[in-house]
Structure 1
């Protein structure tokens, strides 16, 4: 039995992850992104509490196109992290751990997180 030699230098652009692996990486990215944004959001919140002028500045920040885009990203991160977290808890309980079920639940996480983000984004704009 002959096996291929392992590559010595991985070309990360040629590695194709299956959907469950991609969802797992997005779960980590969304959690890290929310963690990084805690300070920014607390800063905007503190600005809004300083004075009426601070409140107006915070409102201007959050209603700008960049502020709305950041909020939309945070909304997606929350929904994705929450739904993927439930999926991972179920996988820990061996619910849906078979390959076909894991692929379907991964697709469901992606569909639900994007759909819920679109609904909330419609309210945001």
Structure 2
């Protein structure tokens, strides 16, 4: 008896999948955690250098005033804001607060929008310069 040929695997295009907003917030939580983990040594070195003297602080600020480093700092602010907000959201859902579907969707949207607004406000107010 001959075995039936198996169907060829289907191509899975992740850009065509419509993730629910809760999944997007959860993925953002993981991505922001990885970003913070990778940048943590640089942030610690920057903090150490900035605390040496007023001249060291001014030198660090001057080094971080370029557009590319400003973008990196805005990303760090987004990552920190999103990670904290999404973490609080997950903790509240773990104890049963906001775990119903509509509440979960609302809190996911709130986390995403609030983190983006925090990063935008930080960039526009010059808090990073």
Q: Same fold (TM over 0.5)?
A: yes
* Distance (Å, rounded) in 1 between the aligned partners of 2:109 and 2:52: 44
Aligned match for 2:121, one of 119, 122, 125: 119
The normalised TM-score by structure 2 is 0.79
Give the aligned CA root-mean-square deviation in angstroms: 2.3
- Provide closer, same or farther for how the CA distance between residues 67 and 105 of structure 1 changes in structure 2, counting only shifts above 3 A: same
The normalised TM-score by structure 1 is 0.81
Which runs of no fewer than 5 residues in structure 1 stay unpaired? Answer: none
Which runs of no fewer than 5 residues in structure 2 stay unpaired? Answer: 1-6
* CA positional deviation for 1:53: 6.7
Matched residue, 1:105: 107
Structure exhibiting the larger radius of gyration computed from Cα positions? 2
Q: Name whichever structure is richer in helix by fraction.
A: 1
Matched residue, 1:96: 98
